[in-house]
């Protein structure tokens, strides 16, 4: 698994320490183990998890601005846990409404010694942060409109951003952005061994 991760990373510009690589592999092993009982992801093969979960998450890192992020609808911690591992100086709130997922996240936090994540069980529209976020990240929402309507209260008003991980560019959704929201960037993402297009849509 470690060698597989290294071969994937070698196809990118991402430089990680041995400890970070080990944490990512340990996370996949935990995900694989818990998945048998908790059904956390439809991806069953750990090597595929490295591609479709780990690499798909961490390629976003260079484009994030700020240090305080919330991963809404994080599920088993995607993309929040991999990003927290590769971005140790940033803090990630991991929000999910399902108790079994949050229990898994707390176990990951404990076993991997991640001090920069905070798992929270809540519906996103009911969650009120004490401090607003530099970035709201999600790869779970069906549409940008849903993300904006449920998460509008989470980013900083001045320079907060929404980061939506998407497949193909959601052209139609981008023509229907509500007032006060503008498109900052659409960034093509290169995920080694991942089929199909991947894009990061940044809104502010």
SS3 sequence, the chain?
Answer: CHHHHHHHHCCCCCCCCHHHHHHHHHHHHHHHHHHHHHCCCCCCCHHHHHHHHHHHHHCCHHHCCCCEEEEECCCCCCCHHHHHHHCCCCEEEEEECCHHHHHHHHHHHHHHCCCCEEEEECCHHHCCCCCCECEEEECCCCCHHHHHHHHCCCECCCCCEEEEEECCCCHHHHCCCCCCCCEEEEEECCCCCCCCCCEEEEEC
Q: Is there a binding annotation on residue 31?
A: no
Average of per-residue pLDDT values in the chain: 95
Q: Is there a binding annotation on residue 73?
A: yes
Lowest mean pLDDT among 36-50, 57-71, 73-87: 36-50
pLDDT single digits (tens) 101-123: 999 999 999 999 999 999 999 99
pLDDT single digits (tens) 13-50: 999 999 999 999 999 999 999 998 888 888 899 899 99
Q: Is there a binding annotation on residue 125?
A: yes
CA distances to 23, 27, 28 from 109, rounded to whole Å, are: 11, 10, 13
pLDDT above 90 (res 142)? no
Domains observed in the chain = 1-203 (3.40.50.150)
21: left (phi over 0), alpha (psi -120 to 50) or beta: alpha
pLDDT for 39: 82
């Amino acid at each position: 698994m470690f060698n597989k991760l290294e071969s994937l990373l070698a196809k990118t510009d991402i430089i990680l320490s041995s400890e970070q690589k080990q944490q990512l592999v340990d996370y996949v092993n935990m995900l694989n183990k818990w998945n048998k009982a908790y059904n956390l992801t439809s991806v069953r093969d750990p090597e595929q998890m490295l591609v479709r979960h780990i690499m798909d998450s961490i390629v976003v890192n260079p484009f994030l601005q700020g240090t305080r992020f919330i991963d809404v609808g994080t599920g088993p911690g995607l993309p929040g846990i991999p990003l927290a591992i590769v971005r140790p100086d940033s803090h990630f709130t991991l929000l999910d409404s399902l108790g079994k997922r949050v229990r898994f996240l707390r176990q990951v936090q404990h076993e991997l010694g991640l001090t920069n994540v905070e798992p929270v069980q809540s519906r996103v529209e009911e969650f009120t942060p004490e401090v607003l976020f530099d970035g709201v990240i999600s790869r779970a929402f069906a549409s940008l409109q849903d993300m904006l309507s449920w998460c509008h209260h989470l980013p900083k008003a001045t320079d907060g951003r929404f980061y939506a991980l998407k497949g193909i560019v959601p052209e139609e959704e981008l023509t229907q952005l509500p007032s006060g929201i503008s498109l900052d960037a659409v960034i093509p993402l290169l995920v080694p061994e991942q089929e199909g297009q991947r894009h990061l849509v940044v809104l502010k």
